[in-house]
Chain A
Amino acid sequence: MKPLDPRTKLLIGMVIITAVFIAGHPVSLFCQLGIILSAVFIFKMSVPFFRSLKLIIPMVGLVFLISWISFDRYSALLLCVRLFNLLASSFLVFQFIRPEDLAAGLRKMKIPFGFVFMLTTAVRFVPLMQNKIRSIREAQMSRGIDLRLKLKNVKNFMAMLGPLLLQSFVLADELAVAMEVRGYGRKNRSFRKDYRLGFSDYIIMVAAVGALVIFIRWETGW
């Protein structure tokens, strides 16, 4: 079977995120939570998903605390489930769309190559910058600079920020050279893959949009 066109994948991703975004009814929210967690296990994404929870949980926890103080515990719980669903579904969507597919989809939609390239390169450089941050942190801690998350250590974080900024600028320069030597500035770029919307793409797109419309209608009573 022909793999889905990147544009179809993008549309499915947008439909999922929109559905999560507009869900407000407790039944919808908990159903979505169930579907997302099931998808994590069905598609064997539990290891990267639980790793990403390190970032998601503190954010959700903070929102719970603020909304509990501002409103009540029940509203805070619903708000947190909604936020969790939004972050977790975005995580899942981006696990299924490779940056190159995203780029190809956007280019086919006539988005300028410069913008598309910037977007995909930013995704590619996330792990690289994570490694860079870790190596700077370790180098500074090794010479006695305390970088644990404590109020008294705030001024010490300059020891991380300085080398990180400087090395980021150097990396940006080197990246610019690397792009040039691979023909970034040339006109008339071609596509490696011939992206064409097939019959299955149209069926899936119509089904996804239809499902979204039904869900919005059920959710809002429109």
Chain B
Amino acid sequence: MATCIKVKDVRYHYPGGQEALRGINFTVSEGEYLLICGANGSGKSTIGYLFNGLIPHFFSGIFSGTVEIFGMDTRKKGISELIPRVGLVLQNADAQLFNSCVEDELAFGLESLGLSGMQIEKKIHETADLLHIDHLLKRPPDRLSGGEKRMAGIASILCMSPAILILDEPYANLDGSGISRVRECLRKIHRAGLTVVVIEQRVNSFLEDVSRCLVVDRGKILFDGIASHAGNILVSQGLIPRYPERNKIKSFTTALPGAAGKTLLSVRNLSYRIDGKKILNDVSFDIFRGQAVALLGKNGSGKTTLIKHLNGLYRAKHGEIQFNGHSIAGKTPAQIATMIGLSFQNPNDQFFKSRVEDELRIGLQMVQKEPKEWLEKIGRLFQLQDLLGRSPFRLSEGEKKRVAISSILAMQPEMIVLDEPSAGQDGRSKQMLAIMLCKLIHEGFTTIFVTHDIEFARAVADRWIVLDRGQIAGNGPPESFERIESLI
């Protein structure tokens, strides 16, 4: 097979930043299915920007070495000349989709290539047929599910008929069915003869599909070879998390927030509609003090709507929620925050202070508490001591998540609710987070977390609640669920 990508002695510095790539060399043959993996901040996305000339033509910075695409030096060819050969699907589907419907998304790239109206129509329908997205063509991007957005993003690039398709974290924010769909779609594209390069940190499912794997760490390639031989290095690099057994984790404090075993949260007959559509339908369950509960279900099953009811962001119009035997109806989210702390998926939604320490204190100021010892304990547990003086915006994804959860815990709630705590985290960060949450649970903290990550749920939760189309489809210990994959 002829070489289609040749990367030689490439070094790259982002302007004002650290060296992202430190002398990398590799080649890719036509028709290969390559996985580039590495932890957050390892430089893997930067490698993706090399292939279509975004580096050095779009991103300024210091670039050295050569990148050749079908023998063309990317330094000498502009982005617009490389686009017909190399397609890049970005991680953030919201930025990738900027037209008012999927059909127009596909047409945008084809218009850029200067194709005639008839050719554009033909390409749109060929691509939609290939990816089975005909039913999405007229839909606006904000009405698509996560998996559908990803498929539309892939289609918007694929329709331009590139010989090489690069995908930056195609599994980001997808549920099980979304992942299966994208995975099948990529297999199909590869079988059709395209060179496929996937940049991912959720490596497990890709290892079976790809022909070759590159492991990147701090801007260097640590491993380049057959995917099945990469197992050990993926574990040692923390890309595949190794969760410890819960009973082997020692606790961090002796301060128990209350007697274990009693009902702490009681949800009764909760129903909720948005624009006439039933999102939650007669949901009832009890959570006991000290339990760790994983809330599982497909995207759109009502998980996030449910947890927004728990801290008063949504009012229970039908049904009732009691905490410690008292109804939370009529209480504001700010009042509930001292009892039930809710941390959302994206830590960047929270940060607005210039120092981590100030971020941790902000909630305390609102509720007029200043338990210094408690803050120190949280800092120790979440290993934030060295981060307190740093800007939260400059932290790694794992560190940001730890700061976000700590800022909720700082208010000493009796129960914490976490929305997708492991999303966007590399294996090592997931492992670390799981240990920290287990320590909290050991101390009697009641925890509910929404997740699609079955391994993380197994490591942390002692009870699973599965939602399906707004109803409880399962509620019990993890071992009682036999065919969980079909429900998430």
User: Which residues from chain A sit less than 8 Å from chain B, CB to CB?
Assistant: 47, 98-100, 120-121, 123-125, 127-128, 131, 135-136, 138-146, 148, 158-159, 161-163, 166-167, 171, 174-194
Contact = CB atoms under 8 A, between A and B. Distances in A.
B349 A120 contact: no
A124 B367 contact: no
Contacts of A158: 352
A185 to B, nearest CB: 5
A29 B363 CA distance: 52
A63 B466 CA distance: 51
Contacts of B363: 143-145
A177 B54 contact: yes
A178 B95 contact: yes
A142 B351 contact: no
B112 A142 contact: no
Given A99-B99, A163-B350, A174-B90, 5 more contacts: A47-B275, A141-B313, A142-B408, A148-B332, A191-B111
Contact of A192 (B111, B160, B411): B111
B60 to A, nearest CB: 13
Contact of A128 (B94, B113, B343): B94
B100 A182 contact: no
Contact of B113 (A99, A177, A183): A183
Size class of the contact patch on chain B: 35 or more
The 6 A-B pairs with the shortest beta carbon distances in the complex, nearest first, are A183-B112, A162-B352, A174-B95, A144-B366, A139-B349, A144-B337
Contacts of A161: 352
Most buried by B among A121, A163, A181: A181
Given A179-B98, A186-B114, A145 B54 contact: no
Contacts of B90: 174, 177-178, 181
B193 to A, nearest CB: 21
Interface stretch (B22-30, B115-123, B171-179, B249-257): B115-123
B113 A178 contact: no
Contacts of A123: 100
B407 interface: yes
A191 B52 CA distance: 25
A99 to B, nearest CB: 5
B110 A180 contact: no
Nearest to B166: A181
A192 B346 contact: no
Contact of B88 (A144, A148, A181, A184): A181
B341 A143 contact: yes
A188 B114 contact: yes
A181 B157 contact: yes
B311 A142 contact: yes
B334 A194 contact: no
Most buried by B among A124, A127, A171, A187: A124
Given A128-B94, A135-B346, A178-B98, A166 B393 contact: yes
B348 interface: yes
Contact of A146 (B78, B121, B366): B366
B333 A142 contact: yes
B94 A171 contact: yes
A176 to B, nearest CB: 8
Most buried by A among B78, B104, B140, B275: B104
B164 interface: no
Interface in B110-162: 110-117, 120-121, 140-142, 156-157, 160
A142 B337 contact: yes
Contacts of B337: 141-144
Interface of B: 52, 54, 58, 78-80, 83, 87-88, 90, 92, 94-96, 98-101, 104, 107-117, 120-121, 140-142, 156-157, 160, 275, 308, 311, 313, 332-334, 337-338, 341-344, 346, 348-352, 362-363, 366-367, 393, 407-408, 411
Contacts of A135: 344, 346, 349
Nearest to B88: A181
Given A162-B351, A178-B98, A143 B362 contact: yes
Most buried by A among B58, B95, B338, B346: B95
B100 A145 contact: no
Contacts of B349: 135-136, 138-140, 163, 167
A162 B392 CA distance: 12
A174 to B, nearest CB: 4
A180 B58 contact: yes
B110 to A, nearest CB: 7
B79 A180 contact: yes
A200 B111 CA distance: 27
Contact of A145 (B98, B111, B334, B346): B334
Contact of A100 (B100, B160, B408): B100
Nearest to B87: A181
Given A120-B100, A139-B344, A142-B344, A182 B112 contact: yes
Given A145-B366, A179-B98, A182-B156, A194 B117 contact: yes
B362 A100 contact: no
B408 A143 contact: yes
Given A100-B99, A183-B83, A142 B313 contact: yes
9 contacts: A124-B98, A140-B350, A161-B352, A162-B351, A166-B351, A179-B98, A182-B108, A185-B79, A191-B111
Given A127-B142, A142-B313, A171-B95, A184 B112 contact: yes
A138 B308 contact: yes
A136 B54 CA distance: 31
A125 B313 contact: no
A148 B333 CA distance: 10
Contacts of A194: 117
Contacts of B366: 143-146
Nearest to A172: B95
Nearest to A182: B109
Contacts of B101: 98, 100
Contact of B96 (A142, A145, A178): A178
Contacts of A127: 140, 142
Contacts of A144: 333-334, 337-338, 363, 366-367, 411
A216 to B, nearest CB: 34
Contacts of A140: 349-350
